Chains A and B, each alone.
Chain A
Amino acid sequence: MRDLIYLTVILPLLGFLINGIFGSKIKNEKLIGIIGSSVVGISFLIALGAFFETLALPVEQRQKIVSLFSWMAVGNLNVSFAFQVDQLSLVMALVVTGVGFIIHVYSIGYMHGDRGYWRFFSYMNLFIFAMMNLILADNFVLLFLGWEGVGLCSYLLIGFWYDRKFEKSTVADASKKAFIVNRIGDFGFLLGMFLIYMTFGSLNFNEVFSRALSFNVPTYVFGFIAIFLFIGATGKSAQIPLFVWLPDAMAGPTPVSALIHAATMVTAGVYMVARTSIIYASAPQIMMVIAIVGALTAFFAATVGIVQNDIKKVLAYSTVSQLGYMFLAMGVGAFSAGIFHVMTHAFFKALLFLAAGSVIHSMQEEQDIQKFGGLKKYMPRTHITFLIAALAISGIPPLSGFFSKDEILWFSFANGGLFFWIMGAGTAMITAFYMFRLYILTFDGKERFGKDKHPHESPSIITIPLIVLAVLSVIGGFIGIPEVFSGEHGNQFHNWLAPIFKDADRKLAYFSMHSHTTEILLMVLSVVFAVSAIWFARYIYLKNPTIATDTAKRFKGLYNLLWNKYFVDEAYDAVIVNPIVRTSSSFLWKIADNKIIDGVVNGSAKLIDIISANIRKLQNGVAQFYALVMVLGIVAAFFWIILSL
């Protein structure tokens, strides 16, 4: 089955082509949806088969390269369209195709009646194609192909309703913003790739990573490669400073937010850091940078999430914050913990978004939580699944979020120090708080919606995916039970991924000097924090809602700062965007393009015109003039002859 892994890439591409070319002619929505979903479903089954096949093999044989064709063979550069089936890519493949399949099925119901139905599924399939390329690639170039591809699909899908307004501007602007900010990160990624090729002479993962160990490369080169690649990751995975596109990406349909901006695309950066772990391990200062960026992003995004009133906005900032957690894990050397959190986060965040979509649909596209309230008796299934996801993300045991988040917190304490643990734990508290604020304002308490709204439970095609994801959010953590509990089994997830990171782990040489007791103590502390945050949220929003509004009035400045997301967008606009726009329109357009370039092109045409107008006058019709010219020619010819005599 591992040999068939390329099908997981080709089938979604096929789905894209079929729906893209024939979709507008197929009038049957169900057929489009079935085509779109089944290609992803079959890919999931193939990935599952490859997983079990790999599980049965001994550790040394677990990596397999499946090559389709040689893509570029120029001089020393040999890049093939080849896929690397190993423990890490299988985990990612299962998450992408599995969660992707669930979301596709959900979309069959959610996008019902939309006039671009076929376009939606073809774009979604294209996205799966690009994402699979990204995670299965065995070289940087194919990874970058997928990297750019998911950026493109993000643009296409965010701008799906391209003729609508969105907040202060348009949906088109939001999708452009996503693409452009992504591009800035991609530039950094490209620089990293160039440096890698210059240093190691290859772009193939196996070759580069073995040479990273054997070549004698100074640390600062590793540092530059690492920071450039990380810049790409901040763009793709919405970290400081390139996170600004993610909240705007909520302009797209909710399944898009669930798939791309929660579960898969935004985790591409985390995956990339995990894959190139040896490079990061060779540049410990950059790892510190990553950890700091991750911790700061996690904390500050969470603070912004407290005051947002759009249900999808809260979830968007929550995603940025959770991604910060993953990078914090990467930064302190807990690579498998970060990947573990990628997996569990995919489950509960996708669930949160899909449930939010269910609510939005039933409230007739209303997204303001101030107009919700008390929906739990109208939408029981959505309510229960949302609650499960909220508990998971808050880190309540024994749900999946508890295991992955606590592993990250433990390693940030053990490898990183108290500062990182405090940032992480603080973020966890705030996360629980805003999550339950969201839950209470939406499903609990008094009903604040008008008489025109008739909330109802969504059809099964929507609620069954919710239930599946809820089950996964509950049981998904059990494969990552830490050593303290599972004893000699060890952390199964960690052991599965350990061979991928063994070189990096050896280089970093962390040794866990802390005892089991500290670990359990910290675990208990974080649960206490989470429960108290939940209780606090209930106290305010359920029992005394006026506390919230009074605090907002009293600390108006702080509230404004948070509500306007620290004015980051405005700062970027003033410092970067507006100067560029003004330079472009005043100088580059009017002068460089209009005057200089057009001047040269038109000018050369005019020059020819002038020359020809003057040469034309030579033909004045007077024969004697021609004779004179002939005589002049004779003079010249004679001179030439005389000179050669």
Chain B
Amino acid sequence: MNIEVFLFFLFGIVAAVTAVIMITRRNPVISALFLILNFASLAGLYITLNAQFIAVTQIIVYAGAIMILFLFVLMLLRPESQKKFFELNPKTKIFAIIVAFIVFAQLVYMIFFASPSANISKDVSKSVEAGTIEAIGRELFTNYVVPFEAAGFLLLAATIGALVLAKKKFD
């Protein structure tokens, strides 16, 4: 077993398990914390894929900003804890889980039907090259500069929107 396999299984299992735990907690703050753990393991996965920039951005933006925002809102609103997981609408919940499982089965089938590993083999040097910040930056500011600017506008709009929606009315 080499380090690559070990790291994948480590980060992968943590990601999967924390995801499941996240959705089944009664206390939403606990859910938020487990989600942070999930994001961290995802960042690890990105590293194994040689995507350094994305890994770092994941920690900074997701775990560091978005989840903090969620925690702030949670503490501000102080919602009451939910009842036990399977107490309310057990039928709907089971139905939803079954449906999701069916979709999962379909996706797995489709993935294996397409058998990508027969067509794609990893070229390590190329993948390292692709994950560097220079490569991404070169693409971002030359071919994709319009989406970049649009993303800027989007952030501006979101900022103003969030401000307007959440502020107290002046009486």
Contact = CB atoms under 8 A, between A and B. Distances in A.
Direct A–B contact in complex, judged by CB atoms less than 8 Å apart? yes
A628 B97 CA distance: 11
A635 B110 contact: no
A635 B113 CA distance: 17
Interface stretch (B28-36, B37-45, B99-107): B99-107
Interface in A22-55: none
A639 B96 CA distance: 17
Contact of B102 (A628, A635, A641): A635
B107 A635 contact: no
Contact of A638 (B95, B100, B110): B110
A601 interface: no
Nearest to A627: B96
A631 B102 CA distance: 10
A645 B110 CA distance: 9
B86 interface: no
A600 interface: no
Contact of B110 (A628, A631, A634, A642): A642
Contacts of A632: 99
A639 B113 contact: no
B72 interface: no
A637 to B, nearest CB: 9
Contacts of A635: 99, 102-103, 106
Interface size class of B (residues with CB under 8 A): 10 to 19
B26 to A, nearest CB: 18
Contacts, number: 26
B9 interface: no
B100 A631 contact: yes
B153 interface: no
A642 B109 contact: yes
B103 A638 contact: yes
Nearest to B109: A642
A495 B102 CA distance: 102
Interface in B57-107: 92, 95-96, 99-100, 102-103, 106-107
A280 to B, nearest CB: 84
Contacts of A645: 110, 113
A634 B103 contact: yes
Contacts of B102: 635
Nearest to B89: A624
A96 to B, nearest CB: 87
A638 B106 contact: yes
Contacts of B103: 631, 634-635, 638
A645 B114 CA distance: 9
A136 B140 CA distance: 96
Contacts of B113: 642, 645
B107 A628 contact: no
A641 B96 contact: no
B107 A638 contact: yes
Nearest to B92: A628
A195 B99 CA distance: 70
A510 to B, nearest CB: 97
Interface string A601-645: 000000000000000000000000000100110110011011001
Contact of A642 (B99, B100, B106): B106
Given A638-B106, A645-B110, 18 more contacts: A628-B92, A628-B95, A628-B96, A631-B99, A631-B100, A634-B103, A635-B99, A635-B102, A635-B103, A635-B106, A638-B103, A638-B110, A639-B106, A641-B110, A642-B106, A642-B109, A642-B113, A645-B113
17 contacts: A628-B92, A628-B95, A628-B96, A628-B99, A631-B96, A631-B100, A631-B103, A632-B99, A638-B103, A638-B106, A638-B107, A639-B106, A642-B106, A642-B109, A642-B110, A642-B113, A645-B113
- Ranked 3 nearest A-B pairs via Cβ: A638-B106, A631-B99, A635-B102
